[in-house]
Structure 1
Amino acid sequence: MNKEILETKIADATSRLINTASDLCWNTISRNCFYLLSEIDETIGKNLFEGNKIRKKINEGKTPKSLQEITQDLALLYDNLYDINFYIYKASKDKTIIEIKYFLKTSHTKDFYETIKDNNPMWHGKVAIPPYLSSIGKPAKEEKKFDVNWQLGGIRYEWNLFLYRFKYYVHKTRYNYKKSRFEKRFKK
């Protein structure tokens, strides 16, 4: 693929990702972007929390690259790319670091590789939503905005996670109590 076209596609995907994140998050997200590149490894972390810790540790050791540098890196891999995912790793008013995660065609089984070897890669922009925004036992009435940097941790994230777990515990206790009363009533 032509580097100019690839650079345009990366810039377009970045712009769409920032627009989506701006709608969902209360943060001011800068359009001064730098990039991290990493391969999707499905073996990292058994759950969301563990995976985020490992991902953060790996990314802290990387140096963010400019659009031109990341375009050169992706151009080398382009023919073997199956899936390209854009995530906001860290955002501030001055600078946004976008993590580009890719999945290679050769990472699939030989049979599946034969069906996809000539396909162009799929492009996705994803904004991770924190677990504490799920509604516990009730339908969500309103969309709440959240911190785009929630995966990096911090006191606000820990507090919201504590409240989420407390509400879950209360809901679970109430549910089990009502269930046991219902069962006792119909056992007799």
Structure 2
Amino acid sequence: MKKAELENKISEATSSLIDIATNICWNKISRNCEYIMSEIDESIGKNYFERAKIRKKINDKKSPKSLNKIVTELTAIYENLYDINLYIYKSLSNKTIIEIRYFLKTSHTAEFYPTIINNEPMLHCKVARPSYATKPPNSNKPEKKFDVNWELGGIRHKLNKFLGKLRY
């Protein structure tokens, strides 16, 4: 992805992300989007759940920004961007907050860095799935739709997590 295409590509990826989430989540997801940015830091927390808790605390303090402002920030670090991932952080009835998680080239090992120094950044959009929404292996059952906001916690998520553990 070229620097000049950054805003257009992120806009297209946002639309794709919302389409994917609409198909697998039961929520009505607004296309009125704002963005927050986070650097992918694999040194925080020992496992996924610890990192998610820490990331949530940090993200809750951030003020969402428009796409133009986020693109300006990404453009400033473009030469060092290795990977850009879009996730739905929070979906409300009137707006959706998209989290842009980025990984820097300089975060790689010294041995790997020379092989990627001239690469353009990659762009991905992903929807995190809770364990209770995935179907068992070799099952013909369709996967259950889930709350797009499950990573934020809540009573419904805790109940589904508990019931999911009972089933397996």
Q: TM-score range by the shorter chain?
A: over 0.9
Counterpart position of 1:39: 39
Check whether the contact 1:27–1:92 (CA below 8 A) recurs between aligned residues: no
Within-5 A mapping of 1:144-155: 144-155=144-155
- Which stretch shifts more, 83-92 or 103-112? 103-112
For 2:53 and 2:162, how far apart are their aligned partners in 1? 18
Superposition deviation, residue 70 in structure 1: 0.2
Counterpart position of 1:66: 66
Superposition deviation, residue 93 in structure 1: 2.0
Counterpart position of 1:143: 143
Counterpart position of 2:117: 117
Counterpart position of 2:15: 15
Superposition deviation, residue 6 in structure 1: 1.6
Letter in 2 for 1:108: H
Who wins on radius of gyration, i.e. which is larger?
1
Superposition deviation, residue 138 in structure 1: 6.3
Cα gap change, 1:114 to 1:42, in 2 (>3 Å): same
Is the helix fraction higher in 1 or 2? 1
Cα gap change, 1:13 to 1:36, in 2 (>3 Å): same
Give the fraction of aligned pairs with identical amino acids, expressed as a percent. Answer: 60
The RMSD of aligned alpha carbons is: 1.4
Task: Using structure 1 for the length normalisation, give the TM-score.
Answer: 0.83
Give the secondary structure class of the aligned counterpart of 1:111: coil
Check whether the contact 2:134–2:144 (CA below 8 A) recurs between aligned residues: no
Post-superposition Cα deviations, 1:13-37, rounded to whole Å, max 9, x if no partner, equal 1111111111110101111100010
Give the secondary structure class of the aligned counterpart of 2:8: helix
Q: Does 1:130 align with 2:130?
A: yes
Structure 2 runs not aligned, ≥5 long: none
| Structure 1 consecutive aligned stretches of length 4 or more whose deviation exceeds 3 Å | 134-138
For 1:50 and 1:160, how far apart are their aligned partners in 2? 20
Letter in 2 for 1:109: T
Counterpart position of 2:103: 103
- Which stretch shifts more, 40-49 or 8-17? 40-49
Aligned length: 166
Give the secondary structure class of the aligned counterpart of 2:77: helix
Structure 1 runs not aligned, ≥5 long: 169-188
Counterpart position of 1:180: none
